[in-house]
Amino acid sequence: MYYKSTRNSSVNVTSAQAIAQGISKDGGLFVPSELPKITLDDVKALGDMSYAQRAFFVFSKYLTDFTDAEIKYCVESAYNTKNFDSENIAELAHLFDGTYMLELWHGPTCAFKDMALQILPYLLTTSAKKLELNKKIVILVATSGDTGKAALEGFKDVPDTEILVFYPDDGVSAMQKKQMTTQEGKNVNVCAIKGNFDDAQNGVKAIFTNQDIADELDKNGMMFSSANSINWGRLAPQIIYYISSYAQLVKDGEIGLGDKINIVVPTGNFGNILAGFYAKKMGIPVNKLICASNANNVLTDFIRTGVYNRNRPFHTTISPSMDILISSNLERLLYHLSGENDAQIREWFGALASEGKYEVSNSVKEMLKDEFYAGCCDDIQTKECIKEIYDKYSYTCDTHTAVAVKVYEDYKSATGDETKTIIASTASPYKFSGSVLDAMGIDTNSDEFELVEKLAEASKIPVPASLAELKNKDIRFKEIIDKTEMKEFVFKTLTIHNA
């Protein structure tokens, strides 16, 4: 198995190279040269395995340059009950008949990002060792809230790594900010920027692809890599939970082997739903992939019309991890749908960079409609949905997951489709206690830890220890910079002085 660049199909690297490098030099994203197949017999066998064993099975198809011992080391180090508060790692909860919440937030930072970021440091350091890079790996992260904390937890005190996280000062929840600014570890750095998530992501991408900066790091014995979902090492682990949950539903007798399911995903950067697409292409029987957006509904319009247009107002919403107008991973999807047409990708994403807009071909439009359904809702509808689910099913979900539930309800009324459905539940409600309580009609005039206690009373869900203990931690990181100062901040932090 080799990896190509979406902007240059003649690039041919191993998985270790793709993971260590993060992004291709031409600015493209690494994609597998073919999608490995799994059979229904495989699915049946997976039903009897642990999550780590299922992960081993999937990784061994993608990381063909890793030895079995290396993959085993990675999956066992990440997917265990030291890191996750559930033996199953990902939990499947019944919401209502034929609808299952795939709870992906049982890891250390209470968001689905842990599913990938608990294993990425192992994949990355193993890759670096295999390639004999002998350099310190500097992880640069742009975050809309959850990736930053999950990456910090994953990489803290990992030898020969240093991590720098940029987050939009006004774009994260109080709990998310607290999680990041109190982060412990000797190799971690956190900085707020004046700007939104797209500014942070563009800044990080620009630093990554700047050859002068790369040369400067090289001279100092360092290299950049990425923990954002542009890195293949982020995406591959996300395929696993879709395969795993399908196998689990078969094993539990909820669906028959070969029955189709729908997958609903609250979407921002298009990483999580793309992993669902890969699971489908590998052989998991999927009917529709349902892409749910908040008021930043650029993907809804794109999937419906084939026109991607980021020239629109940016909304700060109660589901901040989806406040994104440039969804990076769409580039991977379009590379596959266009028949691996790298020239076409260069044209479209060139137009996106220069005009903020592109329109895909008719054949790609057809395929988009075939594979996906897209919908969106605003903050008021999100809150109504949280209240409705709470009242009807005594289930408390976070603001992002509620967007998915709402869009799924709209999908059902529009289509009458009764296919059994998995809804990706992407964060613990405790990360967004204020908005969730507000939706339930409970007074929110208290600090974030009192809110947590109120939510515990209402939801009956145990408070995650990792959030409760933040209360007594000191704020370590207070810096706020302009989005134009990111490069200087990186050099200053790494103590390279000729910026």
Ligand X SMILES: *Cc1c(COP(=O)(O)O)cnc(C)c1O
Site string for ligand X, 203-232 (x = CB under 6 A): --------------------------x---
The CA-atom distances, in angstroms, between 202 and each of 20, 207, 327, 377 are 20, 9, 11, 26
Q: Is residue 356 within 8 Å of 25, Cβ to Cβ?
A: no
Window of 194-202, 243-251, 269-277, 350-358 that interacts with ligand X by CB under 6 A: 269-277
Window of 75-83, 262-270, 405-413, 433-441 that interacts with ligand X by CB under 6 A: 262-270
Q: Is residue 12 within 8 Å of 2, Cβ to Cβ?
A: yes
Q: Is residue 164 within 8 Å of 140, Cβ to Cβ?
A: yes
Distance in Å, CB of 239 to ligand X, minimum: 12
The smaller minimum CB distance to ligand X, of residues 163 and 292, is found at 292
Report how many residues bind ligand X under the rule CB under 6 A.
16
Q: Cα separation of 156 and 12, whole Å?
A: 31
Q: Which of 57, 241, 270, 430 binds ligand X (CB under 6 A)?
A: 270
| b (16+ CB within 10 A) / e for 289-300 | bbbbbbbbbbbb
The smaller minimum CB distance to ligand X, of residues 173 and 344, is found at 173
Pairing mode, strands 136-142 and 99-103:
unpaired
Q: Which helix (H) or strand (E) holds 406?
A: helix 399-415
268 binds ligand X (CB under 6 A): yes
The region, left, alpha or beta by phi > 0 then psi within -120 to 50, assigned to residue 261 is beta
Distance in Å, CB of 324 to ligand X, minimum: 7
113 binds ligand X (CB under 6 A): yes
The smaller minimum CB distance to ligand X, of residues 46 and 264, is found at 264
Q: Classify residue 442 by its DSSP letter.
A: -
H helix runs in 220-264, sequence order? 232-251
Distance in Å, CB of 146 to ligand X, minimum: 3
Window of 58-66, 177-185, 270-278, 410-418 that interacts with ligand X by CB under 6 A: 270-278
Q: Catalytic: which of 113, 205, 280, 406?
A: 113
Q: Is residue 193 within 8 Å of 219, Cβ to Cβ?
A: no
Q: Which of residues 38-97 bind ligand X (CB under 6 A)?
A: none
Q: Which helix (H) or strand (E) holds 358?
A: strand 357-359
DSSP string, 270-287: SHHHHHHHHHHHHT--EE
The CA-atom distances, in angstroms, between 105 and each of 56, 182, 242, 428, 430 are 21, 20, 14, 6, 11
17 binds ligand X (CB under 6 A): no
Distance in Å, CB of 151 to ligand X, minimum: 12
The smaller minimum CB distance to ligand X, of residues 123 and 427, is found at 427
Q: Which of 171, 271, 434, 464 binds ligand X (CB under 6 A)?
A: 271
Q: Cα separation of 338 and 361, whole Å?
A: 8
Q: Which of 7, 288, 383, 400 binds ligand X (CB under 6 A)?
A: 400
Secondary structure of the chain: what % helix, strand, coil (to 5)? 50, 15, 35
Annotation marks residue 113 as catalytic: yes
Window of 46-54, 193-201, 264-272, 363-371 that interacts with ligand X by CB under 6 A: 264-272
Q: Which of 183, 272, 435, 459 binds ligand X (CB under 6 A)?
A: 272
The Cβ of residue 324 has, within 10 Å, a number of other Cβ atoms equal to 24
289 binds ligand X (CB under 6 A): no
R_g of the chain computed on alpha carbons? 21
267 binds ligand X (CB under 6 A): yes
Q: Which of 127, 426, 433, 459 binds ligand X (CB under 6 A)?
A: 426
The smaller minimum CB distance to ligand X, of residues 192 and 318, is found at 318
Distance in Å, CB of 429 to ligand X, minimum: 10
Window of 36-44, 189-197, 268-276, 302-310 that interacts with ligand X by CB under 6 A: 268-276
Distance in Å, CB of 143 to ligand X, minimum: 9
Distance in Å, CB of 302 to ligand X, minimum: 13
DSSP string, 415-439: H-----EEEEE-B-GGGGHHHHHHH
The smaller minimum CB distance to ligand X, of residues 16 and 292, is found at 292
Q: Cα separation of 180 and 322, whole Å?
A: 18
397 binds ligand X (CB under 6 A): no
Give contact residues for ligand X (rule: CB under 6 A): 111, 113, 146, 229, 266-272, 321-322, 400, 426-427
| Catalytic annotation, residues | 113
